[in-house]
Structure 1
Amino acid sequence: MTRNGPGGLPYRRLLGLPGVAPQAGLGFLAQLTQQVAPVGIVLVAQGASGSLALAGAATAAFSVGAGMGRPVQGRLMDRHGARIVLAGTALLHVAALLALLASARPGSPWWPMVVLAWIAGIGLPPVSVSMRVEWGRRVADGGRTAAYSLVYLVQELAMLTGPLVFGLLIAVASASLALGLVAGAAGAGTLAFARALQAGGDGHRRERGRAFADRRMLVLMAVVLLHGGTFGALQVGLPALATARDVPAATGVLVAALSLGGITGAAAYGARAWRAPARVRLVGLMLLLGLALAPLVLIEPLPVFCVVLFAGGLVLNPALTTSSLLVDEYAPTAQAEAFGWVSTGLGVGGAAGAAVAGVVGERFGHGAPFLAGAAFALAGAVLATPLLRRR
């Protein structure tokens, strides 16, 4: 690898391209509800009904809707451009959340909250997909590692900042008002982000291909599912570990260690030009991810645990970036739809990983979810090896 190899595009030059810096800032604002909406729906639904089961059902409906919506949004973006899709989904997403808040009253029927949460998920704007398509189009092949790393960096920062802002708003207002304010800010940010996209890249594609015309996309999707499984296992394992140690407040510290690792990894990965092909890097990164997470089963001191967790986070986002690079290669004429399927795969894999982690954690102890997460990553490395063969 080299710091500025041939065709490389470090962040300074990428952000220097016309419109990229404003798009990154507005994209950050637009993605604040990605983590806030599920948490806010739980608080609002449980507060109105007193039922944690209903809150869980509404949150699950939001996740299902988001998974269903991404490929459809991508197909529409390939046909009609990102601007109109972003504007439409922003209005749908915010309107559904506000309607959910209005319907969340004591004694009200339960089903409108679940349906509206599902609609809000379907309308979750495809901001990161739009950034990948827009910035990937603006740079040469050698600069896309930096471009896609910046996409995940912006997304990770939004997912880290959003809950913090939401928590501060809850401290001075109700959960309903806080969710409404964050949703309104994110909706306005999405509309501004759509307006900031270059009009030249927003036109209709003359020749639109199929996302899975190349069978290697199916292999890549399987790897992405397993990658999502690692995420899901960690989401269950971290709070379970903190609870088992009688320090539930440590959950925030553990999540922050993983997120900071992800941010650092994305920043470092995109700052260099890599000579190894993306398919080789994907196998290596998934292998490293599994090897980094496996020792968590044996570590007792929480400070050491956080250090190792940070190291695992360093590899999480680079692996996602590399998967995006392979989408460019395997589905060049249906990028937005293919990126949408990747997002769906991560969500489905995350749900499966969380379910598996919950079962093994209950049966084998609080360290088992981390072993499950490592196993998902290692299986992803094995499954990615067919991509190493030349077509």
Structure 2
Amino acid sequence: MSGAYRRLWRQRWVPALLLVGVCARVPLQAYVFAVLLLAVERTGSYPAAGVVTAASGLAYAAGVPVHGRLVDRYGQTWPLRAASVVNAAAFTGLLVTAQVRPTAGALAGWAAAVGLSLPPVAAAARALWSRVIADDGIRRTALAVDAMVLDVALIAGPLLVTAVSAAVGAAWAVGGCAVVLLGGTLWFSTLPPSRAWTPSRRGGGLAGPLRAPGVVVLLLVSLLAGALLGVLRLGFVEFAGERADPAAGGLALAAFGAGSLLGGLAYGARSWRADAAVRMRWILLGYACCVGALAAAPGVPALVALALPAGFFLAPLVICNFELVGRCAPAGTTTEAFAWGITATFAGSALGNVVAGALAGAVPAGVVFATAAGFAALAAAIVTTGTKTLIVPTAVEGS
């Protein structure tokens, strides 16, 4: 194990925070898939199921900045606990409705209530790292591990949902997500670092973190990175479908995820002299080049092989973003700033889905990959233009 990771594990509270992070965040990645399967099972309609899951995702994207602001204003303990209780009630309403009145409208309403009330555990955990770890290098490694926890959640969540749904039904998978999420959130809120986290006396104002130019730059990067992923997912499927093997698109996506895990491990294992803003620019340029190289794949095996280095840049990009958000957010708005990053990523993914949907079938898959690379290149240009606001964040009123 690298010295950086050994130093991280010796930090007090780090193992507990990472473990509870898994318990509270795997269900966040699993529940959407579980709700999708439940909606398909109860309505028998894929379009209806799509409406139900979209309602949940959009509600989550809209609600998480509000939850983040409550945490910044009042501390982590009661906002997280209150959200978890409301969320458990919403999950219960969804499950009951699925049994007694499984119409698309009713299920979508409860799914939206679930998404709107999801506790902001990920944003709250990221806001804690600067309080728990004083050393910049060790904190960077912690952010790397945090990003890899998200990668693991993205892989493990759907697999667990699939296994439970196949064994006992989708309703049990949804219920399991609800129980684990409730328990993980309540556990997180009882940890001493979370209970000791106190909000800044400075208010964020109506605009909150959005009044900081550096935060706006980072949100644009998150939007474009989300769009890249949205385009890429469909691009993998279209490429494999052009070769009469649509399921093979999942292999490319898995290779991309594995590349992200490897990239996060490598990035977090070493110290970096260049500022995070400079690193982000080069990461985005490398991301653009490797995603663009996917267009040259002659077949599915080559696509899977090229997807590994393309994914290598994802986790380092996320880690840089975390580091810079903590730096650029005005005092008293850190959790909300992280929450806005989640919203921007969700919105970007939706944008990418729309763009990829418009391109799919009309152009070769290679053009879709080139479009995804264009999003990364545009993000690199935005970071280059806004580097000064990221290295030395512009002072804003009240910060």
SS in 1 for 2:139: helix
Contact in 2 for aligned 1:134/1:197 (Cα 8 Å): no
Contact in 2 for aligned 1:58/1:113 (Cα 8 Å): yes
Q: Which residue of 2 aligns with 1:111?
A: 105
Q: What is the rounded CA distance, in whole Å, between the counterparts of 1:14 and 1:240 in structure 2?
A: 41
CA displacement, residues 172-198 of structure 1 (integer Å, 9 cap, x when unaligned): 111111221232123212221222251
Contact in 2 for aligned 1:71/1:344 (Cα 8 Å): yes
1:170 partner letter: S
Q: Percent identity?
A: 31
CA displacement, residues 253-299 of structure 1 (integer Å, 9 cap, x when unaligned): 22221111111111221111111011111111111111010011120
Tell me the TM-score normalised to structure 1 length.
0.92
Counterpart check, 1:206 vs 2:201: yes
Counterpart check, 1:193 vs 2:188: yes
Tell me the TM-score normalised to structure 2 length.
0.90
Distance 1:204 1:155, change over 3 A: same
Listed as ranges, the gaps of 5+ residues in structure 2 are: 393-399
Distance 1:368 1:93, change over 3 A: farther
Per the TM alignment, residue 107 of structure 1 is displaced from its structure 2 partner at its CA by: 5.9
| Equivalent residues, number | 384
Write out the 4+ residue segments of structure 1 that deviate beyond 6 Å after TM superposition.
Answer: none
Q: What is the rounded CA distance, in whole Å, between the counterparts of 2:103 and 2:125 in structure 1?
A: 39
Q: What is the rounded CA distance, in whole Å, between the counterparts of 1:276 and 1:186 in structure 2?
A: 38
Q: What is the rounded CA distance, in whole Å, between the counterparts of 2:373 and 2:328 in structure 1?
A: 27
Q: 1:217 aligns with which of 198, 215, 218?
A: 215
Q: What is the rounded CA distance, in whole Å, between the counterparts of 2:26 and 2:42 in structure 1?
A: 24
Distance 1:66 1:253, change over 3 A: same
Q: Which residue of 2 aligns with 1:282?
A: 280
Correspondence 1:352-371 to 2 at 5 A: 352-371=351-370
Correspondence 1:112-131 to 2 at 5 A: 112-131=106-125
Q: What is the rounded CA distance, in whole Å, between the counterparts of 2:185 and 2:314 in structure 1?
A: 26
Q: What is the rounded CA distance, in whole Å, between the counterparts of 1:124 and 1:193 in structure 2?
A: 14
Q: What is the rounded CA distance, in whole Å, between the counterparts of 1:107 and 1:198 in structure 2?
A: 43
Listed as ranges, the gaps of 5+ residues in structure 1 are: 5-9
SS in 2 for 1:14: helix
Correspondence 1:224-235 to 2 at 5 A: 224-235=222-233
Q: What is the rounded CA distance, in whole Å, between the counterparts of 2:8 and 2:181 in structure 1?
A: 24
Per the TM alignment, residue 341 of structure 1 is displaced from its structure 2 partner at its CA by: 0.8
Q: 1:154 aligns with which of 146, 149, 153?
A: 149
Q: 1:49 aligns with which of 39, 43, 47?
A: 43
Contact in 2 for aligned 1:149/1:269 (Cα 8 Å): yes
RMSD of equivalent CA atoms:
2.0
Q: Which residue of 2 aligns with 1:386?
A: 385
Q: What is the rounded CA distance, in whole Å, between the counterparts of 1:376 and 1:227 in structure 2?
A: 7
CA displacement, residues 224-249 of structure 1 (integer Å, 9 cap, x when unaligned): 21111111112222233333332233
Contact in 1 for aligned 2:76/2:195 (Cα 8 Å): no
SS in 2 for 1:31: helix
SS in 2 for 1:379: helix
Distance 1:264 1:90, change over 3 A: farther
Distance 1:118 1:228, change over 3 A: same
Moved more, 160-169 or 358-367: 358-367
2:211 partner letter: A
CA displacement, residues 106-137 of structure 1 (integer Å, 9 cap, x when unaligned): 76443221111111112222222122111122
